[in-house]
Amino acid sequence: RFSRTFRDNPSLGKMLIVFTVSGGGLVAYSEAKADGGIHAVNPSEVDVKKKRVVVLGTGWAGTSFLKNLSNSSYDVQVISPRNFFAFTPLLPSVTCGTVEPRSIVEPIRNIVRKKNVDVHYWEAECFNIDAANKKVYCRSHLGGDVNSKEEIIVDYDYLVISVGARSNTFNIPGVAENCHFLKEIEDAQKIRRTIVDCFERASLPNLSDEERKKILHFVVVGGGPTGVEFAAELHDYVTEDLVKLYPKAKEAVKITLLEATDHILNMFDKRITAFAEEKFQRDGINLKTGAMVVNISDKEITTKEVKNGGAVSTMPYGMVVWSTGIGTRPVIMDFMKHIGQGNRRVLATDEWLRVEGCDSIYALGDCATINQRKVMEDIWAIFRKADKDNSGTLTVKEFQEVLSDICERYPQVGLYLKSRQMKSLVDLLKDSSGDAVKESIEVNLEEFKLALSQVDSQMKNLPATAQVAAQQGSYLADCFNRMEKCENNPEGPLRFRGEGRHRFRPFRYKHLGQFAPLGGEQTAAQLPGDWVSIGRSSQWLWYSVYASKLVSWRTRALVISDWGRRFIFGRDSSGI
Ligand code: FAD
């Protein structure tokens, strides 16, 4: 608003705009130039007593961090273009009106309001991270000016990057222009409107059967949990609600699910995959696996078969939903180039979620991953160091000591080494008779290095899920809550004392299981210990888990009443 005033009145000349925060300190100020644009010119002066923590993003990771931060010695600034938290697991339900969009969002100001910590929220988007000078550059698009040049510069002592990811189009021609994505609340609302529009268009007079079929052909690209859940939800919406209102559409409507690999729900147990594929077949959902999308025009999708000599075929469509995975946000790509991670897909962190090669910057959620290769190199260095006489061997006793040290420092890898009972590792620890471990036996480190490289290739990155993001957020908040105490007492807890050790335990992910809703009140659940349950009972488990995980009592009450409304009255078909 200020900048526009100056732009319209150049005679006002050069003036300063000051952004203040409560507590009296200046955070950042920008200078209005006579040419109209506002250019950031100077760093800030801030309340020196409090450390400034800047959090980028109000998604799962950022919100979990904010909810769990309880130490009042920080001055926290939250920057995100979205002033609310969205419960993404229920987004597919929003696309078909099972749940209303408002029911799954909570204003971020509501979430941080009760805290004893100073938290300030700014609705803006970060476009540049200057790690060398500890500043982030942001732009606000409020007022609808997407070309706004108003910049906000924010200084930080600690930066928490949790900006998530964007939908990945793999640069396939036509995807960005012609597909719907399912990532944000607005995407789900747009899909809901488009579904109803398609049914209305197909009901207009003077349409041929062929045109009607084309309009009512809904294509979902991507057989992961989101694509599968959306296809299932759409099938329920059509069969339970829409065909009652559009009886002529019954014969023409078709749902196709395209997947490039041989099966859908690859990350789930094979029993779940098989059940889902059979159910979709029974429901009449056209499942096309091994089909890679190569082009999407405004009327047709072109696919190429992965096998069978790469046969190419086209199909007309009315609506396409693209759900094939996630890609890196531009601000993160630029940042990675600056810090020498340009060849990576996501930001690499260590096991304490600190961005590699940066000072006081943490990254969590979908925009980051723990660098397993680096962890392996560190572990190897620990083994080498334990080999004091440089003989290339360790006794089993020494070896086991190092291993328990690793389990403490690198729990993810340590547990893997222990629990998987890797054949090569076990072989190394056995004597020639094949069972009892003898302390005098020597372990050849070169052989062990080979075993480690196997772990490296077998240990997968943590999945890009809300579960990981939320656990990382609360882990980091816990570290921040104890940071001051640890700085005053740098020795740290006894177990973590010692050269090169960090004062906090590394992040350890606890997998609580995952769901795949398959429609018709049936859900597949894969719980810890590879316990699989499929059917109506899992659907009730799904209802209870998601109701309990909702961020507030308000959203919980709204979602439960939406579910009740759907049971009694069906889904709304107005598309608004
Ligand atoms: P997000 O939650 O995406 O948050 C990113 C935040 O950063 C947003 O607030 C965004 O506005 C903000 N931001 C973006 N750019 C900038 C910028 N330049 N500057 C500042 N802020 C910025 N996971 C599960 O575990 N279970 C499920 O059932 C499940 N279902 C899903 C269903 C759907 C439809 C989708 C899309 C995802 C689902 N996920 C699920 C995955 C889960 O939502 C993500 O893994 C999770 O959101 C990642 O959290 P995050 O905080 O890293 O990113």
Render pLDDT for 537-555 as a digit per residue (tens, 0 to 9). Answer: 999 999 999 999 999 999 9
CA of 232 to the centre of ligand 1 (A): 22
Q: How many Å apart are CA 32 and CA 8, to the nearest integer?
A: 12
The beta-strand segments (E) located in 97-161 are: 105-107, 118-123, 125-130, 135-139, 151-155, 158-161
Contact 127, 138 (CB under 8 A): yes
Pairing of strands 135-139, 125-130: antiparallel
pLDDT reported for residue 250: 87
Q: Is the pLDDT higher at 1 or at 356?
A: 356
Question: How many Å lie between the centroid of ligand 1 and the Cα of residue 533?
Answer: 27
**pLDDT the model gives residue 114:** 75
Taken in order 488, 490, 495, 496, the sign of the CA dihedral is: positive
Confidence of residue 120 (pLDDT cuts 50, 70, 90): very high
Reported as a pLDDT band with limits 50, 70 and 90, residue 285 is very high
pLDDT at 57: 97
Q: What SS3 class is residue 485?
A: helix
Q: Is 285 or 440 the better-scoring residue by pLDDT?
A: 285
- DSSP 8-state secondary structure symbol assigned to residue 310: G
The predicted pLDDT at position 184 comes to 95
Position 443 scores a pLDDT of 64
- Given a cut of 80, whether residue 488 has pLDDT beyond it is no
The pLDDT score that the predictor gives to residue 530 is 75
What pairs with residue 137 in β-bridges? 128, 153
Strands laid side by side in the 151-155 sheet: 125-130, 135-139, 151-155
Tens digits of residue pLDDT in 170-182: 999 999 999 999 9
For residue 507, what is the DSSP state? P
Domains of the chain from N-terminus onward: 1-81+124-165+328-370+465-493 (3.50.50.100), 175-327+512-569 (3.50.50.100), 371-461 (1.10.238)
Phi and psi of 487, rounded to 5°?
A: -70, -35
Q: Is the CB of 222 under 6 A from ligand 1?
A: no
Position 40 confidence tier, pLDDT thresholds 50, 70, 90 = very low
Residue 326 near ligand 1, beta carbon < 6 Å: no
- Pocket of ligand 1 contains residue 92 by CB under 6 Å: yes
**Residue tagged 């070309």 (tokens):** 147
pLDDT score of 366 more than 80: yes
> Whose C-alpha lies nearest to ligand 1, atom 12?
57
More confident residue, 11 or 519: 519
Pure H helices in 27-97: 60-68, 91-95
For residue 19, pLDDT over 70 is answered with no
- How far apart, in Å, do the first and last CA atoms of the chain sit? 32
The lowest-confidence range among 28-32, 279-283, 374-378, 498-502 is 28-32
pLDDT tier for residue 397 given thresholds of 50, 70 and 90: confident
Binding site membership of 238 for ligand 1 (Cβ less than 6 Å):
no
Alpha-carbon distance of 537 to 525, in angstroms, equals 10
| Average pLDDT of the chain, as a whole number | 83
Q: Residue 23 pLDDT > 80, yes or no?
A: no
What pLDDT score was predicted for residue 405?
A: 76
Mean pLDDT, range 29-51, rounded to an integer:
47
Ligand 1 site, residue 62, Cβ cutoff 6 A: yes
Which of residues 270 and 145 earns the better pLDDT score?
270
Would the ipTM clear 0.95, i.e. be above it? Answer: yes
Report the C-alpha gap between 569 and 262 in whole angstroms: 39
What does the pLDDT read at residue 483?
84
Question: Mean pLDDT over residues 470-488, rounded?
Answer: 88
Contact 498, 516 (CB under 8 A): no
pLDDT computed for residue 222 by the predictor: 96
The DSSP bridge pattern shows strands 286-289 and 291-296 to be unpaired
The residue-averaged pLDDT of 74-97 equals: 96
499 class by beta-carbon count within 10 Å (0-12 exposed, 13-18 middle, 19+ buried): exposed
SS3 504: coil
- State residue 4's pLDDT score: 44
Alpha carbon distance 416, 98 (integer Å): 41
pLDDT category, 502, cuts 50, 70, 90? low
**Is-contact 25 47, C-beta < 8 A?**
yes
The best mutation among 163, 324, 331 to test binding of ligand 1, ranked by most ligand atoms within 8 Å of the C-beta, falls on 163
Ligand 1 probe mutation, 465, 467, 548, 549, most atoms within 8 A of CB: 465
Arithmetic mean of pLDDT, 340-347: 89
Q: Does the structure show a pLDDT above 50 at 436?
A: no
Amino acid 428: pLDDT: 53
CB distance 315 to ligand 1 below 6 Å: no
Lowest mean pLDDT among 96-105, 351-360, 458-467, 494-503: 494-503
Sign of CA dihedral 360, 364, 368, 369: positive
**Residue, of 194 and 307, whose pLDDT is higher:** 194
Q: Per-residue pLDDT for 41 more than 60?
A: no
User: 3-state class of 257 per DSSP?
Assistant: strand
Q: Is the CB of 80 under 6 A from ligand 1?
A: yes
Residue nearest to atom 2 of ligand 1 (CA): 59
| pLDDT on residue 274 | 96
Cβ–Cβ under 8 Å, residues 518 and 524: yes
**Four-residue CA torsion sign, 468, 470, 471, 475:** positive
Confidence of residue 416 (pLDDT cuts 50, 70, 90): low
Q: How far is 229 from 235, CA to CA, in rounded Å?
A: 10
Is residue 537 classed as helix, strand or coil in its secondary structure? Answer: helix
Cα separations (Å) of 207 from 202, 243, 253? 7, 18, 14
Q: What is the mean pLDDT of residues 46-68?
A: 90
**β-pairing verdict for 291-296 and 300-305:** antiparallel
The percentage of residues in the chain with a pLDDT greater than 70, rounded to a whole number, is: 79
Alpha helices for 42-116 (secondary structure H):
60-68, 91-95, 108-113
pLDDT on residue 389: 80
* pLDDT tens-digit map of 195-243: 999 999 999 998 999 999 999 999 999 999 999 999 999 999 999 999 9
